[in-house]
Structure 1
Amino acid sequence: MTHMKTLLAGVIAVTLSQPALAKDAPEGLYSMNALIGANVFLATDRNREVGEVEDVLVAENMKVHGLVVELDDDLDGMGDNNYRFVEVEQFSVATRSGDQLDRVSYAVFLNDDLDQVRNYPQVDNDWWAETKGAAANIWSNTKAGASSAWQATKDTTSNVIDKTKEKTRDVLESLQRTLE
């Protein structure tokens, strides 16, 4: 059951997040379970492995928000924290094998060069709290805006329908008087 939930979450999140996918033809289904642990490379040097996917972060709306990538220890200038946040626009995913569910594997390609990758936000508890709060605020504002837009659309439509009914009634009454 847990595997099925992971697969379903992966299908929903990755399907709704088209920028995260490879530029090749869409495959229809992607496994979040297989994406976690995928090797990460630089798009400019497709043979240069720089780390692996540690986690996939999904926003409130079930779209992929980004990846947490653990960069290799041997990269110069990394400091103590090798975990970096990679936004959806900064990577693509390529399928290495995908004919059978138990053999799905992916490779992730970062769009930036190594110096830029080193400067991706470090993922730690402070980053998590700040990012989670900011995302919650954005989602709350989006929901409120959508609700407000829906109410305005509903009110306008209701007014148009009421005016149309009123005009139709006036025309029918006028036509009835003319026929009498």
Structure 2
Amino acid sequence: MKRTHTLLASAMAVTLCQPVLAETAPEGLYSMDALIGADVFLATDRNREVGEVEDVLVAENMKVHGLVVELDDDLDGVGNDDYRFVEVRQFSVATRSGDRLDRVSYAVFLNEDLDQVRDYPRVDNDWWAQTKEAAANIWSNTKSGASSAWQATKDTTSNVIDKTKETTRDVLESLQRTLE
């Protein structure tokens, strides 16, 4: 049951992320479980496998933030356990088979050439700590900014209402004096 919930939540998170598209037509629902382990290719050379998806990173808002790709160690300039972070805008997902949940498989295509892929951020403990902290700060600033904007809107609305009441009261008092 837990696996079903995980698959459903994972699929929903990928669905919420607009840039992750199937090669032909968007399917609207993707399985993260099947995405992890998917072969990774270069969009410029669709037959050149360069690695596989190691992990899918989801932001606090439950949108896909990016992939962690383990590059093949037989590529020039790449060593063992070479993991790179790939932002959502830097890849696309194509469905290889998807007629049944137990048969879903994907291929991931990186939008840039191999030299650019080698320049993607290397994922290690330092990267993880820095990225996690930066994301938390952005989320915190967004929340406090939204809260501040809401408070400013409430204050402005309240001031407008108070001014309207005051002006209405002055007009009514002036009318009353005129009628007396």
TM-score normalized by structure 2?
Answer: 0.86
How big is the shift at 1:146? 1.1
In 2: Cα distance, 1:173 partner to 1:37 partner: 77
CA contact (8 A) 2:23 2:95 kept: no
Which secondary structure does the structure 1 equivalent of 2:148 belong to? helix
How big is the shift at 1:176? 8.6
Which residue in the other structure is 1:53 paired with? 53
Once the two structures are superposed, residues 52-90 of structure 1 have per-residue CA deviations (whole angstroms, 9 ceiling, x without a partner) of 100000111111111000111110111344111111111
C-alpha RMSD of the superposition: 2.3
Q: Percent identity?
A: 86
Once the two structures are superposed, residues 85-135 of structure 1 have per-residue CA deviations (whole angstroms, 9 ceiling, x without a partner) of 111111111111222222211111000101111121111111111111111
How big is the shift at 1:25? 3.1
Which secondary structure does the structure 2 equivalent of 1:19 belong to? coil
Distance 1:74 1:176, change over 3 A: same
Distance 1:32 1:172, change over 3 A: farther
In 2: Cα distance, 1:102 partner to 1:172 partner: 74
Distance 1:126 1:171, change over 3 A: same
| 1:35 counterpart letter in structure 2 | L
Which residue in the other structure is 1:36 paired with? 36
Which sections of structure 2, spanning at least 5 residues, go unmatched?
Answer: none
Distance 1:172 1:22, change over 3 A: farther
Which sections of structure 1, spanning at least 5 residues, go unmatched?
Answer: none
In 2: Cα distance, 1:71 partner to 1:53 partner: 9
Once the two structures are superposed, residues 136-162 of structure 1 have per-residue CA deviations (whole angstroms, 9 ceiling, x without a partner) of 111111111111112112222333344
- How many residue pairs get aligned? The number is 180
Pairs within 5 Å for 1:28-177: 28-164=28-164
